[in-house]
Amino acid sequence: MIKIILSATLTLLMAFNSYSQEFELASTLSNTTIESSGLIHISNRLFTHNDSGDNPHLYEISKITGEVVRTITINGAKHMDWEDMCSDDTHVFIADMGNNAGSRTDLLVYKIRIEDLLSKESVDTEEIHFSYADQFDFTSTDRTTEFDAEAIVTIEDKLYIFTKNWTSYRTNIYELPKSPGTYSISRIKEMEVGGLITGGVYNQHSNSVLLVGYELIFVFLSPFMIEISGITNGSFEGVYVTKSGLNVPSGMSPQIESVTHNNVNGYYITAEESPFGASGLYTLSNGFATNNAFVTKKVRVRYPTRTQRNLIISYPELTINSIYGVNGSLLIKTEDPKIITDHLQRGMYILRISDTSNQILLTKKFIVQ
């Protein structure tokens, strides 16, 4: 007997509400910033920095072409693994906290003046050093740590770090003072997110945090965004969490890495270059609309049962439906919304559904037993 069992990951994602948004490619990024990992929008100007391995530079980029228009050097800083940045009314905070192996003991945030950033080619910095109060083991591991982090936001007089938990697909939230110094910071909240968090921004207009990231599904990346609303005085207790997928155009990288807001409901997002495609700068408008008029068209999948052996896809438009093995080998590709699964051996598979323009609508694991 063949039976399909949904993975725990799919069950989690189904628990979140999904809303539509206008997510559009503005431009590719220049060769200088193909590893864009942090993003801020200040005085109608857009700034980014690269992932690990670059010089201690911030880059002002064109919102139209993605080209670098100005390079700013951070005096005295080192670029170990810059992963995100955020800004308040007076300062920019650059987080050197990438920690894939969980072994770093030199985590810090660089603090620079916005006035300097906007007017100078090189700027001085202050340093905020920190460690996690609940980390006791610094043995190097291969992407299994809960002490990697790629998202930092500022809310009022505090910074908030969201970790990238490689195995649990959760995020831990830590609170960090903005004043220069050395701190041991405590976890204030743990949240289920169903993926790897890679960037974030606080929107004071909506009093919400927008996180971006992706889910690793064997050889595929499935990008998403999460809105956390109902934040009270920096507390994440009793908040509302809304999750939605991001449909990246064909040929573009799904490795979403950074986000910043440009108005009440508008955002810029970048994706770094990856084996899956080119780096890109995106605009996002409408965000998570609360008006029912914006509810997205949902893909619905009915999986085989003991008496019904077909996998049936329901969507108002034509879709391209593919089933892959866990090694990425393509087993089935069809436009037929009914897929016969009788011939599939027992094991885990990946279902990927795209529209006719190759926009990915759904990527999910399932098990044939």
Please state which of the ranges 5-9, 105-109, 209-213, 285-289 shows the lowest mean pLDDT.
5-9
CA dihedral of 325, 331, 337, 340, whole degrees rounded to 10: -90
Contact 89, 40 (CB under 8 A): no
Give 261's strand partners: 267
- Categorise residue 24: left if φ over 0, alpha if ψ from -120 to 50, beta otherwise: beta
> At residue 4, does pLDDT exceed 70?
no
Give 68's strand partners: 61
Q: How far is CA 157 from the centre of its chain?
A: 24
What would the pLDDT profile of 141-157 be if each residue is shown by its tens digit?
Answer: 988 999 999 999 999 99
Beta-carbon contacts of 363 under 8 Å, excluding residues fewer than 6 positions away, are 215, 217, 220, 222, 350, 351, 352, 353
Q: How far apart are CA 85 and CA 36, in angstroms?
A: 11
Contact 369, 3 (CB under 8 A): yes
What would the pLDDT profile of 294-350 be if each residue is shown by its tens digit?
Answer: 334 578 888 766 667 788 898 888 999 999 888 888 899 999 999 988 888 888 888
- Output the CA angle 263-267-269, nearest 5 degrees: 155
Beta-carbon contacts of 2 under 8 Å, excluding residues fewer than 6 positions away, are 304, 309, 341, 342, 344, 346, 368, 369
**Per-residue DSSP letters for 148-206?**
-EEEEEEETTEEEEEE--TTT-EEEEEEEESSSEEEEEPEEEEEE-SSEEEEEEEETTT
What would the pLDDT profile of 174-227 be if each residue is shown by its tens digit?
Answer: 999 999 999 999 999 999 998 999 999 999 988 999 999 999 887 789 999 999
- Characterize 312-342 residue by residue with b for buried, 16 or more Cβ atoms within 10 angstroms of its Cβ, and e for exposed: ebebeeebbbbbbbeeeeeebeeeebebebe
Going by pLDDT thresholds of 50, 70 and 90, the confidence category of residue 38 is very high
